[in-house]
Amino acid sequence: MQDPYLTLDVARDATDAAIHQAYLEAIRRCPAEQDPERFQVIRTAYETIRTNKSRLEYALFNTGVPTPAEVLERLAKGGQPGRPGIELFRHLFRSGKR
């Protein structure tokens, strides 16, 4: 899968509104009728980073929504190199941010 931030041409710290606006502009430039494959790539990119939860999952695992078994396995290993592990989740739950 391509990097969804590059696909939508948004910064990694973009707001939900900025991501949504970039998505609308991308589908306006490439309607489904003209290029269905490209449209699907744009839609997948948007679905991958459209919410805070999905952006966190992408940042942690560099995939879409992982299965629960994948989450447990990766957390047991302390996350992936260069990505946060269980400590990030502990911090989020302690601070009340969800």
Q: Rounded to an integer, what distance in angstroms lies between the CA atom of residue 5 and that of residue 18?
A: 11
* Cβ atoms within 10 Å of 98's Cβ, excluding its own: 7
Q: Rounded to an integer, what distance in angstroms lies between the CA atom of residue 57 and that of residue 85?
A: 11
42-87 pLDDT per residue, tens: 999 999 999 888 888 888 777 545 556 666 776 676 655 445 556 6
Show the tokens assigned to 71.
Answer: 């989450």
SS3 64: coil
Sequence spans of domains, the chain = 1-50, 52-98
Has domain 1-50 been given CATH number 1.10.287?
yes
Q: What residue type is 4 in one-letter code?
A: P
Model confidence pTM above 0.85:
no
